[in-house]
Structure 1
Amino acid sequence: MKVYETGSIRNVVLLGHGGAGKTTIAEALAYVTSGINRMGSVDDGNTLSDFDKEEKKRKFSISTSVIPIEYKGESGELKMNILDTPGYFDFVGEVEEAVSAADAAIIVVNGKAGIEPGTVRAWELCEANALPRLFFVSNMDDDKASFRQLVLDLEKQFGKSVAPFQLPIRENEKFVGFVNVVKMAGRRFTKMNEYEACPIPDYVEKHLTIARSALLEAVAESSDELMEKYFAGEEFTVEEIQAALRENVEACKIAPVLMGSGPNVQGFNVLLQVLEKYFPSPESLESIGVDASTGEHFRAKYQSDKSLSAKIWKTIADPFLGKYSLFKICTGVLKANSEIYNVNKESMEKVGKLYLLRGNTPIEVPELKSGDIGAVAKLNISETGDSISVRNAPILYHGPKLSEPFTFMAYRAEQKADEDKLSTALQKMMDEDRTIRLQADPENRQSLIYAIGEQQLEVLASRLKDRYNVSINLEKPRFAYRETIKKTVKVQGKYKKQSGGHGQYGDVVMEFSPSFDYDQAYSFKEQVFGGAVPKNYFPAVEKGIAESCKKGPLAGYPVVGVNAILLDGSYHPVDSSEQAFKTAASMAFKDAFLQASPMLLEPIAHLNVTVPDAFTGDIMGDLNKRRGKILGMTALRDGKQLVEAELPMSNLYLYNTDLRSMTGGAGSFSFYFVRYEQAPGDIQNRVVEESKKMMEE
C-alpha cells in the first residue's frame, strides 16, 4: 500500500450495538475496494476483523481491528482507515480507544432490530467527542426491516439532525434498489454492489417529498444566501446541496442515514461516496495537546511539514502476532528506522519497521504522514496513552478516556507453581486492555481483578489459558468486614508463667467501651494511680491492644471503634517485662470483646445508577431486595434518570450483569465506599460460620 497525503485520508470508526453488522460492513468495504478476493463471514470465522481465537469461537468482536482500504473516488485515490469495534459493552474500552483515533463515525443499526442500547451509546460517544457521524442501516435484505419506521425512531431519539439520504425500493418483498434523495434519482442494483438508473416508484413519492423537504431546510439553514434562495422558491443545484451538506455533516449538525445489506454486498458504493464527500480528512481538523517544554496549550493543523508528534491509542500484545503499538500521527512524518522521544516517559526509543495493520496482517511501509494510522512493533517503553515526538519539540496529547471498571472478582492461579507466570501474563493482558485493573487485598489474603463486566473476565481467563498456558480461578471475593463492640465492660488480664529462673508476669485491669468512630481502630488512655503499673509498661499495653485489633475474636476481621482505658494492675519487680504486659493486654482485650456484645460491621457503598426513565421502577425494586436505601432520583437529559442509593458492598457483587439484564444493556453504574454499618444478625452469623470453616481448612 502506498503512502498517502493527509488530505487523502479518512479515519472512520464503526460503532453500534452487538450483532448490528459492523464486522460484516468492514468486510464488505474491503471486498468492494478489492482489498480481499472473497467475503468472509462472522459465522465461518474468516473475517479480516475477527481474527482472534476467542472472537472466532464466540462469533463477536472483542478487540478493535484496523482495516485500511484504498478507494478511487471523484477526488482521486483515497485511503480509508476503517476501525471495527466491539458492540458488547464489556469491551467498551476498545471502542473508546478507537474513537480517540477516529475523525468520523458510522453508527450501524440493524434494520430489523431498530434502535438498541448500543445505538444510543454510540451516539453519546460521538456527541462527547464531537465526531461527525452517519447511520448505516444494515439487514435491508430482511423483509421485516422497516426503513421508514426506523428513520422516524431515529428522529424521535436523536432529533432533526437525522437526514435520510436514501429511501428503499422493494419489489416482491425484496430490497432491489434505492432512491437518492440528494440527486432525486432512482437506482436499481444489478450485480451485488453495482447499480443502474431506474424510475422512482410511485409508492416512494410521498415519503421522498417529506425527506427532500427536510434535507432542503437543513441546507437552507447553512447560510443566509441559501436561506434567501430557499424562501424565494429557487431550486438549489446539486453542488450547492452537497457543499452545504458537507459543512453540516462536519459540524455535526446533520447525520445522514444510508442503507444496505452486508451479506448481499449492496449499498457500499454509495457509502464510500458519502465517506469521501461528506466526512472530513484530517487536513481540515486540528490536533490539540500541551507543549511539554512550556506547559502551554498546543493547537496545530494535521500537517506533514511540521515536527513529528503522535499519540499511541492502542497496544496489541499477542504472543502469536507480537507486540504492536498503534498510533495516529498528529503532525509531521514518521519514518521507518528512526528515533522517537516518548514525552510521557522522557526517554528516547528506536523505531524499526513501520506497518499498517490489516486485521492481523502487517503491511510494511517506509513512512506515514500526518493524520494517518499505523503501527510499530516491539517498542520497549511506550504504552497506550503515551505521546511521541522529536526531543526538541515535545508535545503531550491526552490518552483515550476509558470507562472505569466496577465489576470485580477474586483470582488466583489454579496451580500454585504458576503464580509467577500468571503475574507476567496478566501484565501483558493489561498492556492490551487498559480497563483491566489488579488490586492486592492483604487484609483478606486475596487478589482482586476489576473489569467492565463478567464476560470480559471470562474472555480474559480463556485467553490466559490459550495464549500463556496458565489457568486462573475467578471467585466471589471476601469483603472487608470490621468488628466492634456495643457494651462497656471491665476485665482483668493476667499473664503469669513460671519456667525456672526468671518467669513472666503482667497484670492489667482495663475498661473497653464503644467509641463509634469506625475510622479508627482504637483509642488508648491510662488512669493508673499509685504506680500499680509502671509507666514504662504503658507502651507495651497499648501495643497489645493494637496487635489484637488487627484480627478480631469474632470472625478474624480488623477491629474498629474501641476505647481502651488502663485502670489498674500489678507487677513483679523481677518477672515483669514488656512482653508480659503486652500479652496480658491481649488477653484482656479478647475476654472483654466477647463479653461486650461483639458485632460485625459491613462496608456500605454509595451507588449511582443511570438508566432510561422506563426502568427506574425495576431498578428501585431490585435495590430494595439488595437491602439498598434509595437516596434520591435526578432527571437527566435524553430521558434518563440518575438513581442514588446506599447498600452493602457485598450486594454489589456482579451487579453489572443483573443491571444489563434488567435494562437490556441501557443502564450504567458506579460506586464508592462511604462507611461501615452494623450487619444484620443473619449476615453476621453467616460470615462468622464461613470464617470458622476457612480457619479449619
Structure 2
Amino acid sequence: MADRAVEVPRAERPQDIRNIALVGPTGSGKTSLVEALLVAAGEIGRPGRVEEGTTVSDHDDVEVRQKRSVHLTVSPVMVGDVKVNLLDTPGYADFIGAMRAGLRGADAALFVISALEGVDGRTRVLWEECAAIGMPRAVAITKIDHPRADYDDVVAQCQEAFGSGVHPAYVPAVEGSGDDRRVVGVWGLVSERYYDYSDRSDVSGRGGGPDAGPGARQAPEWLRGTAGPLREALVEEVITESEDEALMDRYMEGGELDPDLLIADLQKAVAAGGFHPVLAISPTKGVGVRELLRELPLSCPDPTLRPFPSVATPEGRPVPGLSCDPDGPLVAEVLSTAGDPYVGRVSLVRVFSGTLTPDAAVHLHGHGVPCGLTGAGELDRVGNDEHAGALSVPFGRDSRPVGRAVAGDVCLVAKLPDARTGDTLSSPDRPLRVSPWRFPQPLLPVSLTAASSADEDKLSQAVARLVAEDPSLRVEVNPETHQMVLWSLGEAHLDAALDRLEHRHGVRVRTGEVRVPLRETFAVPAQGMGRNVKQSGGHGEFGVCRIRVEPLGSGAGLEFVDEIVGGVVPRQFVPSVEKGVRAQMADGMDSGYPLVDIRVTLYDGKAHSVDSSDMAFQKAGRLALRDAAAAGRLAMLEPVAEVAVEVDDSYLGPVMSDLSARRGRVVGTETASGGRAVVRAEVPELEITRYAVELRSLSHGTGVFTREYLRHEPLPPQVASRLPGPRGDDRA
C-alpha cells in the first residue's frame, strides 16, 4: 500500500481549536461517525476499502476499533483553518471513567443517538452528567437512512428527555417508505441551504474537505412547507439563548436575518448551555457528514469561551485569574495514560494554559490516590520534576510528531514514566495542580493470585501500574482475608484490565471469589480457665487465670476488666493476660474468623514466684478465652453495608423487591432530578459482591449505587453453614 504525505493537523491559536467529545451508548454509531468525518476531511481513505494512497483507515484496523470500544481516543481533523479534536468516548457503562476523561478534555459534547434505538435510559443519565458540569451539548441522529428510521420521532424523544432547548438544525428530505425509503437531502434551517443527496455518486467519493460533495440550492417547496415552523422555532431559540437584542428587534420587526449573524449567535447559544442543535447523519452513506463537519467549528465554542478549571498551588491555595492563553503559565492535565512497547508510557494531555514543547521541563503533580499495596512506590508519589518527551497527534494507530501544543489543544506526550491519569503538568518554577474530575467508584471485586512464581514477583508492581493508568480501578490487600482484591466497574471493565495485565505488563493471574471478612462474638456469657503449667529440668512456666466473657454491642471491640484482689495474679502480669486475650481474638477460634465485641473480666488466678512470667500469662489468657468459647456459644457476624441505589422511577419497585430478596432492609426513598429516585437500604455484603452487574441488568443500564461499611450483624446459621473458612482456596 503506497503512502502519501498527509499534513499534520495543527493550530497556533486557541480560537482555532475545537475539542468535541462524542458521547452515546454502544451501537449508536460514534466510531463510524468519526471515520466518516475523517474521510470527509481527507484525513484517511474511504472506510471499508483499501485504496492506493490510503494512509490509515481505522475502519479496516480491528485493533484500533477494539481500542476505541474501551479507551478514550482522539482524532484531529482540519476544517478550513480550524483544528477539530474528536474525542471518541466509550459507550459501554463499564468505561464511564474514560467517558469522563473525554468530557474533561472537551469544550462541547456531541451526543450520538441512533434513529433506530432512540433515547434510552443510559443516554438520559449521560445527558444529566454533562448538564451537571455545564457542558455545551449538540445531538447527531445517525442511521437516518435505515428503512425503520424515524427522525421526527427521535427528535421528539430528545425534546422529552433533554428539555425544550433541543431543536433540529438540519432536517432530512425523505422519499418513499419501508425498503424503498431514501434520504435524498438535508436542509439547514439556519443557513436555509439544501444539500441534494439524490445522486449517490456525490456521496461515494472520499476526501475533499467540508466544501466538497453536493452543492447547496433552494429546498423543495414541500420540505419548506413541512419544516418551516421548525425554522421559526429554531431562530427564536437561538436569538433568545444568545441574548442578541439587536437581532431580536430585527426579527420582531419582520426583517431579513443574515444567516452569518444567526450562525454566530448559534455558537453563543450552544456555549451558554441552554440550546442544543440536532443534526441528521448517515455515516455509512455519507449523508449529512460534510454538513456536520462544517457545523462543528461554527456551533461549538472554542476553548477561550469555556470556564477555566479550578487551579491551586500544591499547598492548596487557589490560583485565580488564569485563562486559555498560550503565553500564560503552563497548566495541563493527563487525560489518560497507556504503555507502548516501543516508547514506554504515552500520555494524552489537554493543555489549559501556556504552551507545551518537546523535552520541556515539567512538574508532575498527582493527587495521592492510594492503591492499597505496599511496595508500589510510584503510587505514593505526589509531585516530581520530569522532562516531557516528544509531542505528537494521533493518526489511526500511529501518531505524527508536532513541534508544540498551545493552550486549548490536545496532544500525546511520550516518556513521562510516572504520569498517572488525572495528574497536572506545570512549570517546575511555578508548580500548580488542577482539581481532579470525579472518578467513578469501582464496585465489582475479584481476587487475584499469580499464575506462577515468576508472575508473583511482578504482580504488585504490575497491578500498581494498571491502577495508575486507570483510576476507576482500585486494588487492595484485605488485612483479614489476605486476598489481593481488584475492584472494577463491571465485567467488561475487568476483562479489559486483565487483558492489559497479561499482554501489556506480562503478568498472568488467576481470579477467584472475594471472601467477605466475617467475624465471631459470644452469643451468651461464659466462663473459662487458662492453665499454663509446664515443668522441665530448668526454668518452667506457670500461669493460671480465670475469666468471665460477656457479649457487647456492635463495634465495641474488647473491654478488659481487672477484678483481681489479694494479688493472686501479680499486678505486672495482668496486662499479659489481656495481651494473650487480644492475640487469641485476632486469630479467632476454630473457624479462624476474628473474635470481636466482648467484655473479658479477669477475676482469679494463680502465680509462681519463680516460674511465672509475661509469656506464661499470655498463654494462659489465650487458653482461658478458648475454654470460655468451648463452654459457651459463639455467633458468626457478617458485615452490613449502607447502600444508596439511584434508578429511574420505573425501576423503583423491582429494585426494592430485589434488595429485600438479598436480606436487605429498605430504610427510605428520596426523589432525585430527572425522574429518578434514590433507595437507601442496609444490605449484607455477602449479598452484593456482584451487585454492580446485577443492578445494571435489572435497571437496563440506568442504575448506579454506592456502598459504605456500616456495621457487623449476626449471620443466620443457615447462611453460615454454606460459607468457606476465611483462608479457603480461590476458585480459578
- What's the TM-score, normalizing by structure 1? 0.93
* Shift in CA distance, 680/338, structure 1 to aligned 2, threshold 3 Å: same
* Shift in CA distance, 541/346, structure 1 to aligned 2, threshold 3 Å: closer
The residue matched to 2:657 in structure 1 has which SS? Answer: helix
Equivalent of 1:192 in 192, 196, 203: 203
Whether contact under 8 Å (1:513, 1:562) holds in the other structure is yes
Match of 1:251 in 2: 272
Match of 2:353 in 1: 331
The residue matched to 1:513 in structure 2 has which SS? Answer: strand
Match of 1:405 in 2: 442
* Shift in CA distance, 346/690, structure 1 to aligned 2, threshold 3 Å: closer
Deviations along 1:625-662, one digit per CA (max 9) or x if unpaired, are: 10010011101111000111001011111101111111
The reply on whether 1:616 has 2:652 as its aligned counterpart is yes
* Shift in CA distance, 427/531, structure 1 to aligned 2, threshold 3 Å: closer
Match of 2:505 in 1: 468
- Residue 694 of structure 1: CA displacement? 6.0
Equivalent of 1:427 in 464, 473, 490: 464
Match of 2:154 in 1: 150
- Worse-superposed segment, 565-574 or 671-680: 565-574
Match of 2:389 in 1: 352
The reply on whether 1:266 has 2:284 as its aligned counterpart is no
* Shift in CA distance, 337/528, structure 1 to aligned 2, threshold 3 Å: closer
Q: Distance in 2 between matches of 1:137 and 1:234?
A: 32
Whether contact under 8 Å (1:107, 1:122) holds in the other structure is no
- Residue 185 of structure 1: CA displacement? 4.0
Q: Which amino acid aligns with 1:591?
A: D
- Residue 498 of structure 1: CA displacement? 2.7
- Residue 377 of structure 1: CA displacement? 0.6
Match of 2:11 in 1: 4
Q: Which amino acid aligns with 1:353?
A: A
Q: Distance in 2 between matches of 1:84 and 1:400?
A: 18
- Worse-superposed segment, 541-550 or 223-232: 223-232
- Equivalences for 1:480-499 in 2 at 5 Å? 480-499=517-536
- Equivalences for 1:456-535 in 2 at 5 Å? 456-516=493-553, 518-535=554-571
- Residue 587 of structure 1: CA displacement? 1.4
- Residue 52 of structure 1: CA displacement? 7.7
Q: Distance in 1 between matches of 2:504 and 2:392?
A: 23
Q: Distance in 2 between matches of 1:8 and 1:335?
A: 19
* Shift in CA distance, 641/181, structure 1 to aligned 2, threshold 3 Å: same
Q: Distance in 2 between matches of 1:103 and 1:654?
A: 36
Whether contact under 8 Å (2:343, 2:415) holds in the other structure is no
- Residue 200 of structure 1: CA displacement? 4.0
Equivalent of 1:177 in 178, 185, 197: 185
Whether contact under 8 Å (1:219, 1:226) holds in the other structure is no
The reply on whether 1:216 has 2:235 as its aligned counterpart is yes
- What's the TM-score, normalizing by structure 2? 0.88
The reply on whether 1:379 has 2:416 as its aligned counterpart is yes
Match of 1:560 in 2: 596
- Residue 206 of structure 1: CA displacement? 5.3
Deviations along 1:544-587, one digit per CA (max 9) or x if unpaired, are: 10111002215211111111111112223333332222222211
Gaps of 5+ in 2: 1-7, 50-55, 205-212, 367-381
Equivalent of 1:593 in 629, 634, 658: 629
- Residue 475 of structure 1: CA displacement? 1.5
The residue matched to 2:267 in structure 1 has which SS? Answer: helix
Gaps of 5+ in 1: none
The reply on whether 1:242 has 2:263 as its aligned counterpart is yes
The residue matched to 2:722 in structure 1 has which SS? Answer: helix
- Residue 591 of structure 1: CA displacement? 1.6
Q: Distance in 2 between matches of 1:70 and 1:595?
A: 81
Whether contact under 8 Å (2:48, 2:60) holds in the other structure is no
* Shift in CA distance, 336/289, structure 1 to aligned 2, threshold 3 Å: same
Q: Distance in 2 between matches of 1:694 and 1:219?
A: 64
Match of 2:110 in 1: 106
Q: Which amino acid aligns with 1:661?
A: S
Q: Which amino acid aligns with 1:146?
A: D
Match of 2:688 in 1: 652
- Worse-superposed segment, 383-392 or 263-272: 383-392
- Residue 101 of structure 1: CA displacement? 0.9
Whether contact under 8 Å (1:343, 1:396) holds in the other structure is yes
* Shift in CA distance, 567/390, structure 1 to aligned 2, threshold 3 Å: closer
* Shift in CA distance, 521/293, structure 1 to aligned 2, threshold 3 Å: closer
* Shift in CA distance, 343/617, structure 1 to aligned 2, threshold 3 Å: closer
Deviations along 1:29-64, one digit per CA (max 9) or x if unpaired, are: 1111111122159xxxx95399684x75x6961101
RMSD (CA atoms): 2.4
- Residue 167 of structure 1: CA displacement? 1.5
Q: Distance in 2 between matches of 1:692 and 1:419?
A: 19
Deviations along 1:227-265, one digit per CA (max 9) or x if unpaired, are: 433443444332332232221111112100001111222
Whether contact under 8 Å (1:350, 1:379) holds in the other structure is yes
Whether contact under 8 Å (1:600, 1:679) holds in the other structure is yes
Deviations along 1:301-343, one digit per CA (max 9) or x if unpaired, are: 3122333332222212233563112212222222223322335
The reply on whether 1:48 has 2:48 as its aligned counterpart is no
Deviations along 1:574-613, one digit per CA (max 9) or x if unpaired, are: 3333222222221110121233221011100000111000
Match of 1:121 in 2: 125
The residue matched to 2:587 in structure 1 has which SS? Answer: coil
- Worse-superposed segment, 567-576 or 588-597: 567-576
The reply on whether 1:605 has 2:641 as its aligned counterpart is yes
Q: Which amino acid aligns with 2:399?
A: P
The residue matched to 1:287 in structure 2 has which SS? Answer: coil
Deviations along 1:282-313, one digit per CA (max 9) or x if unpaired, are: 23345344352892432333122333332222
Whether contact under 8 Å (2:139, 2:277) holds in the other structure is yes
Greater share of residues in strand: 1
Match of 1:292 in 2: 313
The residue matched to 2:583 in structure 1 has which SS? Answer: helix
The residue matched to 2:333 in structure 1 has which SS? Answer: strand
Match of 1:19 in 2: 27
Q: Distance in 2 between matches of 1:95 and 1:318?
A: 22
Q: Distance in 2 between matches of 1:121 and 1:367?
A: 37
The residue matched to 2:58 in structure 1 has which SS? Answer: coil
Whether contact under 8 Å (1:50, 1:61) holds in the other structure is no
Q: Distance in 2 between matches of 1:537 and 1:284?
A: 73
Q: Which amino acid aligns with 1:256?
A: P
The residue matched to 1:444 in structure 2 has which SS? Answer: coil
Q: Distance in 2 between matches of 1:123 and 1:203?
A: 34
Q: Which amino acid aligns with 2:203?
A: M
Q: Distance in 2 between matches of 1:284 and 1:692?
A: 57
Q: Distance in 1 between matches of 2:324 and 2:424?
A: 15
Q: Distance in 2 between matches of 1:392 and 1:525?
A: 59
Q: Distance in 2 between matches of 1:163 and 1:432?
A: 39
- Worse-superposed segment, 177-186 or 340-349: 340-349
Q: Distance in 2 between matches of 1:325 and 1:318?
A: 10
Match of 1:676 in 2: 712
